[in-house]
Amino acid sequence: MTLKKSLQIAANLGFLAVFFMLFREFASWNTLVATFSRIPMAHLIIGFASLILTYFLRAHRFYILLNHHQVQWLSIFKVMLQHNAINNILPFRLGELSFPILLKQRENIGLASSAKTLITARLFDFLVMGMAAFGVLMLILNNNQRLVFISVMILVALVGGIGLVFVLKKSQRIHDIFSRFYTYLIANFKSCSAITLAIWLFKILGLAALLSPMLNTEIELALLAVLVVEGTAILPINGPANFGSLEGAVVAILLPFGLVAGEVFGAVLNLHLAIIMLAAIGYLASFLIPNTHHS
């Protein structure tokens, strides 16, 4: 067994141990039901309707990015639903591999081309999420903390920029790949940035609508929790279905703001289960979509 595989197994076991420890300490069926019952019906409708809308928007973004392959929209929607469900279950973002594999199977699109499409979509996600997280932190942090945070961000940007320039100058092959990717990114920037902004506005709205009544706290902290939930989900290191990594991260982030660990854990676990349930329903619904063929 390789060292990488051993570390992955250890991390999975570690995240699961964190989850069961938190569950044993803070959760019970009665407390979970009581926490979920705090959500008004209007919040439930807004929350789930907003999350479902993001499924259509995400499929349309892939449709735009794959436009030169002339793939039918319903076929992309079907792949997106299945990819989303798989991605919500497998650890270490391994579910991302399902997207190029499914496109290869259903539309005979090359793995490199579909991988480029997925990377581009994730880059737009990262940019929008980064801006949202920055805005929330600017609201929560005090003046000294803001100064330190901005200074660190500038330093990271400078180091990253210098490193990129160095790599591009050293390797012509990497330079050519980067140039083609940059051209592809710019060509789709206007349409995809608008759709990505809409995706995350509706997703954050939906998650916050469900989470804020369960947390029973200020909207800023609910938004911060939502951003932690999504930030944890896209990290390359997480447990099966994000159990443990997600709940542990949100509890750790919100405790310094005076919230009770048990209430935070129950609220986030309910939200987590709702996300997985919706993804599972989407996966089952994908089989109702007729198969289409690439022309």
* pLDDT, averaged in runs of 10, over the chain (295 residues): 58 57 60 78 93 96 89 93 86 78 89 89 86 79 85 89 83 81 86 92 89 81 78 63 67 77 80 87 91 59
Question: Where are the alpha helices (H) located in the chain, listed in sequence order?
Answer: 3-26, 29-36, 41-65, 73-87, 98-107, 111-140, 143-170, 172-187, 189-215, 219-234, 245-254, 261-286
Asked whether residue 120 is assigned to any structural domain, the reply reads yes
Which residues lie closer than 8 Å to 228 by C-beta, 6 or more apart? 249, 250, 253
- Identify the pLDDT of residue 9: 56
Asked whether residue 106 is assigned to any structural domain, the reply reads yes
Question: Residues 59, 61, 64, 69: is their CA dihedral positive or negative?
Answer: negative
- Identify the pLDDT of residue 286: 92
| pTM confidence score | 0.80
- Identify the pLDDT of residue 136: 74
- Identify the pLDDT of residue 183: 85
**Which among 130, 55, 44, 129 has a CA at the least distance from the CA of 88?**
55
- Identify the pLDDT of residue 295: 46
Domain that includes residue 215, residue range:
29-141+191-286
Asked whether residue 293 is assigned to any structural domain, the reply reads no
- Identify the pLDDT of residue 52: 95
Phi-psi region of 173 (alpha: psi -120 to 50; beta: other; left: phi over 0): alpha
Grouping H, G, I as helix, E, B as strand and the rest as coil, residue 1 is coil
| Sole residue written with tokens 């938004």 | 223
Give me the number of domains the chain comprises: 1
Asked whether residue 172 is assigned to any structural domain, the reply reads no
Asked whether residue 2 is assigned to any structural domain, the reply reads no
